[in-house]
Amino acid sequence: MFIETQTDMWSLKATSAVLAPTPDFKRFNRFGTTAHMIWFFRRLCGFGPPPAKPNFTVLCIGLEGSGKSSLLAVLSGEKYEDIPPTIGFSIKALMFEDCIVDVKELGGRESVRPYWDRYYAGAQGIIFVVDSTSSDENLKLASNEFHKALGDPVLDDLPLLVLCSYQDKQDAKSPSQLQEILEVNLEDGHRPWAIRGCSIQDRDSIKQSFEEFNRFLLHPTNHSKDHSNNKDFSRL
């Protein structure tokens, strides 16, 4: 029986934060805080409130142990040690400079994967995580699940990011090798995509991959036929 769990629900992390100075209540008594002063002058000068950031919902899928939960934890600044496997699904909201991405991570166990398609509705992008150190047998299984998911009509043409995890390991296969093994060949389609290497030991590798993926979400038509960057595979 499939049991849904909602761990780390709406854990919101910002990539940077600016601390406002302590307000001088004697000076700004009428407005209470510096924030109110800023709001007042924006209104006085004809400026409205700052525009809301675009919000996207994306799927994060992959076999059990591929590193999905750990990568998301590192990106959001949380501890990743001893993270339990996701049984059903979890949602984590990640705040970037230009958008907010709600990542719906689906568990990768054999008993859970048949139910993935129940959570496809409403997705605006796909993140597929593969363990770069996987055995040939597991990589074949990952390839089957990868193509099964991408072949679902609900996910047709959605932006795609393939994350090759554990690139810090000596036996890790490169993204170019994994592209061939997974048979990632989408050049003739309209789906913007990228395949990138990453590691929980290198937060920047995860952040940069997400930032590229975010550009697909924000400007999908600009990337629908241009996948030249996907030929540049960097190893850590």
pLDDT value of position 197? 97
Q: Is 199 annotated as a binding residue?
A: no
Q: How many CA atoms lie within 13 A of 5 on its CB side?
A: 10
pLDDT value of position 186? 66
Q: Which amino acid is at 55?
A: N
Least confident of 9-13, 39-43, 71-75, 120-124: 9-13
* Residues 173 and 234 sit within 8 Å (Cβ to Cβ): no
Q: Is 67 annotated as a binding residue?
A: yes
Of the two residues 148 and 88, the one the predictor is more confident about is 148
Q: Is 62 annotated as a binding residue?
A: yes
Confidence class of residue 16 from pLDDT cuts 50, 70 and 90?
Answer: very low
Q: What is the pLDDT of residues 117-172, one digit of tens each?
A: 999 999 999 999 999 999 999 999 999 999 999 999 999 999 999 999 999 999 99
Ranges of each domain in the chain: 52-231
82 sits in the region (left: phi over 0; alpha: psi -120 to 50; else beta) called left
* DSSP annotation of 10: T
CATH code for the part of the protein at 52-231:
3.40.50.300
CB proximity list for 45: less than 8 A, separation 6 or greater: none
Q: Is 68 annotated as a binding residue?
A: yes
Work out the average pLDDT over 56-69: 96
* Residues 116 and 106 sit within 8 Å (Cβ to Cβ): yes
142 sits in the region (left: phi over 0; alpha: psi -120 to 50; else beta) called alpha
Q: If you average pLDDT over every residue of the chain, what do you get? A: 79
Q: Is 64 annotated as a binding residue?
A: yes
Work out the average pLDDT over 74-100: 87
pLDDT value of position 52? 83
Q: Is 107 annotated as a binding residue?
A: no
Residue burial 22-61, b: 16+ Cβ < 10 Å; e: rest: ebeeeeeeebeeeeeeeeeeeeeeeeeeeeeeeebbbbbb
pLDDT value of position 20? 37
Q: Is 125 annotated as a binding residue?
A: no
- How many angstroms separate the first and last alpha carbons of the chain? 40
Q: Is 86 annotated as a binding residue?
A: yes
